[in-house]
A and B are shown apart, each in its own frame.
Chain A
Amino acid sequence: MVAVTATTETGARPVRARRRLRLPAWFGTTPFLAYVAIFLLLPTGIVVVNAFRSPSGALNLSGLKAPFESPDRSLFTGSIQLCLISSVLGAVLGAILAYAIASGDPDGAVRRLYIAVSGVLAQFGGVTLAFAFVVLIGPVGLLMHASWFYTFPWGIAVIYTYFQVPLMVLVFLPAIDGLKVQWREASESMGASAWQYWRYVGGPLLAPAFLGAALLLFANALSAFATIVAWENQIAYIVPQQIYLAINSEVGLSNVNQADVLALGMIILVAIIMTGYALLQRRAARWLR
């Protein structure tokens, strides 16, 4: 046997005949870091930097005021309105569905079916979905013609909710699974009714996870673009639509700057939301794992 040598702290790549490559272990992550740097961090950086620039390239903070003044302001309120409605609806409905799934056979067909369905529907929310709803409750709808279908925000909110619910199921189900059966039984044996259990034990325990999931839904709705474009693309109701117009219209460079500013606005909004989500998740994880 070879004499035992202590392993070095830094990760050694396989030793080749005479050359010894001693690279620190984290070099293994270089391909990933390089990729992300170029295709995620760089574009984001470009957006952020350009938002602070005037068309001539000088530093210009006036762009930052734009989201708070109309017409951009109505875009942001429109966005937030739509997101609020669809995420509240999605969260509540999704939570109910998630509970129904979680309270059944963990290996059963129903559970697998619904998780697969949720996996698919959470992804395919865009163009396809909007068309499906047009066909269902639009002007020549098979089910009915919902006169409110083309109104903002309620018409489009129904469509948004359709892909929010599956996402809620996927994100919230682990939390419900994390509720230990012993807690229910312990509270029962101490005399708690079902309502008391949810009010004092189940509810408080699920609250952080629920709120976190709802925030995630909110961020998800905020970013949605495809659905609303397929629904109605003549008028820009929400920020992403305006960004698109700003990039692709022929009016000139100044609109690209608008796109950057709007994009920055979105980044900030979503960043706030995701921070809230992360904090809530930490709390939920401690209790429900």
Chain B
Amino acid sequence: MAAVTSVGEAPLAASARRPRGMQAGRRRRLNAFRYVVFTFFTLFFLLPLLAMLRFSFEGSSLGTWSASAWSEIVSYQGPPPLLSAVEISLELGVLTSVVTLALLVPTMIWIRLRVQWISRAFEFLCLLPLTIPAIVLVVGLAPVYNRIRHYELSALMLFWAYVILALPYAYRALAAGLNAIDVKTLSEAARSLGARWFTVIFRVIAPNMWQAILNALLLSAALALGEFTIAYTLLYNNLQVELYSIDRNTPNASVIFSTSLTALIFTFLLLLIISYAGRRRRRGMR
């Protein structure tokens, strides 16, 4: 299926291009177009974010300013306390991304090396969660989770479902990474030097796709942090559900915005860093 642009990937032709000019008139028009488009979209994307920023500094009555929303992230009592929801979501983020990677990385490498005939079916399975909306998945998962509830396990059990949700994104990021390296040749070289399959996967191939792995990790974690549907429907409390219920109880409470902005900015910076880190490595390999 489609390649999706992942962070850090420049079109392959870029490195092979020598300086190639463009005709002046055309370049002028193109630059004007880009200028207009980027201005428009920067505003478009920025406005709600700026509104969130402004509101995160909102005091108890409209029009006042207060930084309390930011300190409240830690101190908001709830019930339940915001911090515990943050904690749970962070833990879910880590759990989801680790399990997703542990599941996908060895499997994908193995498939590419030894069981290529499965790759079509495998891709289909990985992309299936895109087709099955979370809300539908929840209908089928509800009985399973009802049984789990008997054992008083915490919301962390959500990760089982989150991994499934993360599959398409992680798959695409990892597939892009695998496509960029010559898996067959590397593994054959390693094997001819005496490496076992385990070594080939974990010490030869995986390190060469570290950027894709980081990408997949981040996307899975971001998914867990932003997930609402399944947690809400199954009556668990994660970050998004908590933010939602804060809003239900105290409309437009500014702590919602400070929390969300923190998550957003944090994720954005990480994605940007990965994007630049990849470039340096490519240059270094020349």
A39-B160, A174-B2 known; A259 vs B139 contact (CB < 8 Å) = yes
Question: Main secondary structure on chain B at its contact with chain A?
Answer: helix
How many angstroms from the CA of A271 to the CA of B44 in the assembled complex? 32
B78 smallest CB distance to A (angstroms):
17
Instruction: Tell me if B268 and A14 are in contact (CB < 8 A).
Output: no
Instruction: Tell me if B130 and A26 are in contact (CB < 8 A).
Output: no
Q: Identify which of A57-65, A67-75, A111-119, A146-154 touches chain B.
A: A111-119
How many angstroms from the CA of A126 to the CA of B238 in the assembled complex? 13
Instruction: Tell me if B62 and A171 are in contact (CB < 8 A).
Output: no
Instruction: Tell me if B139 and A112 are in contact (CB < 8 A).
Output: no
Which residues 1-47 of A have a CB within 8 angstroms of B? 11, 13-14, 25-26, 28-29, 31-32, 35-36, 39-40, 42-47
Which residues 215-252 of B have a CB within 8 angstroms of A? 219, 222-223, 226-229, 232-233, 235, 240, 243-244, 247, 252
Which residues 198-242 of A have a CB within 8 angstroms of B? 209, 212-213, 216, 219-220, 222-223, 225-226, 229-230, 240
Instruction: Tell me if B48 and A97 are in contact (CB < 8 A).
Output: no
The chain A residue with its CB closest to the CB of B12 is A177
Tell me if B132 is interfacial: C-beta within 8 Å of chain A.
yes
Contact of A124 among B47, B54, B138, B264 (CB under 8 A): B264
B279 smallest CB distance to A (angstroms):
7
A: residues with CB less than 8 A from B are 11, 13-14, 25-26, 28-29, 31-32, 35-36, 39-40, 42-47, 93, 96-97, 100, 102-104, 106-107, 110-121, 123-129, 131-136, 140-143, 162, 165, 169-171, 173-174, 177, 181, 194, 209, 212-213, 216, 219-220, 222-223, 225-226, 229-230, 240, 243-244, 247-248, 259-260, 263, 266-267, 270-271, 274, 277-278, 281, 284-285
Given contacts A44-B140, A131-B257, A135-B51, 12 further A-B contacts (CB under 8 A): A31-B103, A46-B143, A97-B41, A117-B45, A119-B271, A140-B62, A142-B51, A194-B26, A240-B133, A263-B136, A281-B1, A285-B2
11 A–B contacts, CB within 8 A, in A order: A42-B140, A116-B268, A116-B275, A119-B219, A123-B223, A128-B260, A135-B48, A136-B51, A230-B247, A260-B139, A263-B136
- 3 smallest A-B Cβ distances: which pairs? A43-B140, A223-B133, A106-B14
B: residues with CB less than 8 A from A are 1-8, 10-11, 13-14, 20, 26, 30, 33-34, 37-38, 41, 44-45, 47-49, 51-52, 54-55, 62, 103-104, 106-107, 110-111, 114-115, 118, 122, 125, 127-144, 160-161, 163-164, 167, 196-198, 219, 222-223, 226-229, 232-233, 235, 240, 243-244, 247, 252, 256-257, 260, 263-264, 267-268, 271-272, 275-276, 279
